[in-house]
Amino acid sequence: MTDIDANLTESDPRYRQLQRWVGSVVENLPIHPSGAAKGVLMNWQAVTGDASARRYFRVSYCDQSYIVMDAPTPQEALGPFIDIAGRLQASGLHAPSIFAADSEAGFLLLEDFGQTLFQSLLAADKGQCLFDQVSPLLSVMAKNTAADGLPLYSATRLQAELDLFPQWFAQQHLGQGFSRSEQVDWRFLCDQLIASAEAQPQVFVHRDFHSCNLHQLKNGGVGIIDFQDAVLGPLSYDLVSWLWDRYITWPRSALETWIEQARIVLAPDISASQWLRYCDFMALQRNLKIIGIFARLHYRDNKDVYLAMTPRFIDYVLDLLPRYPELGPACDWLPAWLQAR
């Protein structure tokens, strides 16, 4: 999350409620000497968040900085965030500490990881260095982070995500739905991608593991955020999320190098060719989903910034489809849909 200028209006009753709550809990934190900060003003600053209804603020108080999450209930319940933060911390990963919570109101007071996102570190000559920092996190999440009781990344869920592409990108954005024969081809393509996902070992999956959700900490560690949608799902998913990033396109040769490096750590019993196929198919599923989601965010939620990011993901799909003609006739006509952007 990065700082932005925002018009925080005092006429917003929820914002005033949030301010009162933060004021009541911060002064009583053990980190502040008793009575030492009475009357000290808090400095509030809005910070950019994600595509959800959540809002985030950076609050400075007595030389300490916190992140405040405003998650309007019930659509943004705090339970999953609190649960997953605990799972990640229990496995030795750095999810933000939770200093205070009001689950009924939807308020959280969190550790502030600072303002150095991995997004700001992306550069063509830093790919291996960044991957070396990320790879241990992928290993711990897959091998050591508890996944019991998490929602299953089921075939139904994977299909629903894929269906966002014809519904929101093809129909809504391009203005033309699939023909009957194209619908058959699309379903065949989806079936192959889903079967590949289900054939993989099922592990803890962050589900949004990319450069905007990782912080470079002052101690050299990595802070993880935006993990509340974690699921039990395919082993390759978080790796794919990192490699096919929204802000930089890595060369295919680099992708294959890192995919193989990850296989040695995550899946040594899976052949290199099978693992590459798993990752490419997972990347197709995820990138088609993202194209659909970005169109939905634009047309349904009036969040225009995401549609501008679509071309990179379209290029990802255009690169992947020709590599696997066994995915059927959609490999022939789907590129035309994508290039009509």
3-state secondary structure of 215: strand
Which domain covers residue 91, as residue numbers?
13-111
Give me 209's structure tokens. Answer: 């593991």
What is d(CA 245, CA 271) in angstroms, rounded to the nearest whole number? Answer: 25
Whichever domain contains 67, its CATH number is 3.30.200.20
Co-location of 297 and 196 in the same domain: yes
pLDDT for 24: 84
What is d(CA 121, CA 33) in angstroms, rounded to the nearest whole number? Answer: 37
Q: In the listed set 76, 94, 111, which residue is the last one of a domain according to the structure?
A: 111
User: What is the β-pairing status of strands 64-70 and 55-61?
Assistant: antiparallel
Co-location of 102 and 251 in the same domain: no
The structure tokens 């509340």 sit at: 228
pTM of the full structure: 0.91
pLDDT one digit per residue (tens) for the chain, 341 residues = 333 334 455 577 888 889 989 988 887 776 654 554 555 567 888 887 565 778 899 998 877 899 999 988 676 789 999 999 999 999 999 999 999 999 888 999 999 999 999 999 999 899 999 999 999 999 999 999 999 999 999 999 999 999 999 999 999 999 988 999 999 999 999 999 999 999 999 999 999 999 999 999 999 999 999 999 999 999 999 999 999 999 999 999 999 999 999 999 999 999 999 999 999 999 999 999 999 999 999 999 998 899 999 999 999 999 999 999 999 999 999 998 788 65
Q: How many CA atoms lie within 13 A of 131 on its CB side?
A: 22
Asked whether residue 239 is domain-assigned, the answer is: yes
pLDDT for 3: 38
Asked whether residue 320 is domain-assigned, the answer is: yes
Co-location of 88 and 129 in the same domain: no
Asked whether residue 141 is domain-assigned, the answer is: yes
Asked whether residue 285 is domain-assigned, the answer is: yes
Asked whether residue 286 is domain-assigned, the answer is: yes
What is the b/e burial string over 11-46, where b = at least 16 CB atoms within 10 angstroms of the residue's CB? Answer: eeeebeebbebbeebbbeeeebeeeebeeeebebeb
Co-location of 142 and 291 in the same domain: yes
Q: In the listed set 73, 95, 111, which residue is the last one of a domain according to the structure?
A: 111
Co-location of 300 and 216 in the same domain: yes
Total tally of structural domains belonging to the chain? 2
The structure tokens 């003003």 sit at: 41
Co-location of 158 and 61 in the same domain: no
Give me 107's structure tokens. Answer: 């308020």
Q: In the listed set 94, 111, 128, which residue is the last one of a domain according to the structure?
A: 111
Q: Which residues contact 248 (CB under 8 A, 6 or more apart)?
A: 122, 123, 124, 211
